[in-house]
């Protein structure tokens, strides 16, 4: 009986009903799962010599999935982390199929049981020094409406440490521009968090809101293009890249640094940490699900401090001098003399 069960109806109901209606997954999450599923279906079609619409659930075997994952790394050049993300999407689909059709339980279990690959390297944390950040912000032309929008947006990103999608989704109604200043951000997992706003940020946001003609509590997008549409993730990234190139003319250190929207997020975290803000506050500020993620910034900060201390160590520029007690042959006799 299981041989006549086509994969397509399960895929469609998984995306249209389960992810959208039941889990209320974000658009970004759905698109990520969709892209991975398209790759899997194309690969399975090539391997089985069937069209995607004629694939059976049982055509997606444990061996085929494992071969697909190897192909992602070797042919497409995906990292282990990306490979594991693709596997996570596949496992969730087959968990859904197993719950819908008990006859496929054993088959689905074989795929769900495929373990993640170890050794995934965490993305490098790159952040801006304060003078580099100042150079980028200083290069934004605030005499134009688009420049004032860009300046307010970059300052907002630095203030909140928001993810780029969170920035793109921000609506005027999420802002509280009267004391206490704050913004409500919708983050990963459709979770809301509150982030305080600095007075300098509020001043530029107020100007933006007034120019846009947004009424208090209005639900329109905050950062929009000339057509009134919200800035996209790639649009925000392109703006940052352009201002970075401009700033690099006066700040040579920026020439070798790839500055992305996430660089601003890392910059916020590192500057908060260096200012003495407690790590759990930073975790809440950035919306990290786990304190382990926030602790990465502590490790980097400690490594930098350790390196600075080593350069300041007495005798660091020349041969280290041994303390007198280390050269004493009879250390016990020295201790007795104390």
Catalytic residue numbers, as ranges: 163, 188, 262, 265, 288, 297
Bridge partners for 195 per DSSP: 183
Q: Residue 206, SS3?
A: helix
**Rounded Cα distance, 280 and 176, in Å:** 23
- Return the closest-CA partner of residue 245 out of 140, 93, 95, 90: 140
DSSP one-letter code for 176:
E
HSE, side-chain direction, 13 A CA sphere, residue 169: 16
State both tokens at 164.
Answer: 């780029």
Bridge partners for 154 per DSSP: none
Cα Rg, the chain, nearest whole Å? 27
Q: What CA–CA distances, in Å, run from 183 to 11, 16, 166, 272?
A: 37, 31, 11, 18
Residue in this structure with the two tokens 């300098």, named with its chain if needed = 200
In DSSP notation, 32-100 reads HHHHHHHHHHHHHHHHHT--GGG-BGGGS-HHHHHHHHHHHHHTS---HHHHHHHHHHHHHHHHHHHHH
């Amino acid at each position: 009986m299981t041989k006549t069960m086509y994969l397509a109806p399960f895929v469609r109901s998984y995306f249209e009903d389960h992810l959208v209606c039941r889990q209320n997954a974000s658009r970004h999450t759905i698109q990520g799962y969709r892209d991975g599923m398209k790759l899997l279906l194309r690969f399975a079609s090539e391997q089985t010599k069937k069209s995607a619409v004629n694939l059976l659930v049982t055509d997606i075997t444990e061996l085929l999935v494992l071969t697909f994952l190897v192909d992602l790394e070797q042919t497409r050049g995906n990292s282990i982390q990306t490979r594991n993300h693709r596997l996570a999407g596949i496992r969730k689909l087959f968990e859904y199929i197993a719950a819908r059709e008990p006859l496929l339980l054993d088959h689905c279990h074989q795929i769900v049981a495929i373990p993640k690959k170890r050794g995934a390297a965490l993305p490098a944390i790159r952040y801006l020094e304060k003078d580099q950040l100042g150079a980028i912000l200083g290069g934004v032309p605030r005499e134009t409406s688009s420049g004032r929008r860009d300046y307010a947006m970059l300052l907002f990103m630095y203030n909140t440490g928001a993810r780029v999608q969170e920035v793109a989704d921000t609506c005027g109604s999420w802002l509280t521009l009267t004391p206490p200043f704050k913004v409500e951000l919708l983050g990963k997992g459709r979770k809301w968090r509150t982030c305080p706003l600095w007075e300098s940020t509020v001043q530029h946001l107020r100007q933006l809101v007034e120019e846009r003609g947004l009424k208090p509590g209005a639900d329109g997008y905050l950062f929009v293009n000339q057509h009134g549409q919200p800035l996209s993730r790639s649009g925000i990234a392109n703006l940052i890249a352009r201002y970075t190139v401009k700033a690099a003319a006066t700040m040579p250190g920026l020439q070798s640094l790839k500055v992305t929207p996430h660089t601003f997020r890392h910059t916020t975290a590192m500057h908060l940490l260096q200012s003495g803000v407690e790590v759990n506050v930073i975790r809440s500020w950035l919306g990290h699900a786990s304190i382990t993620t926030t602790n990465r910034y502590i490790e980097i900060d400690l490594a930098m401090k350790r390196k600075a201390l080593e350069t300041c160590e007495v005798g660091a520029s020349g041969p280290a001098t041994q303390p007198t007690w280390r050269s004493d042959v009879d250390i016990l006799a020295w201790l007795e003399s104390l």
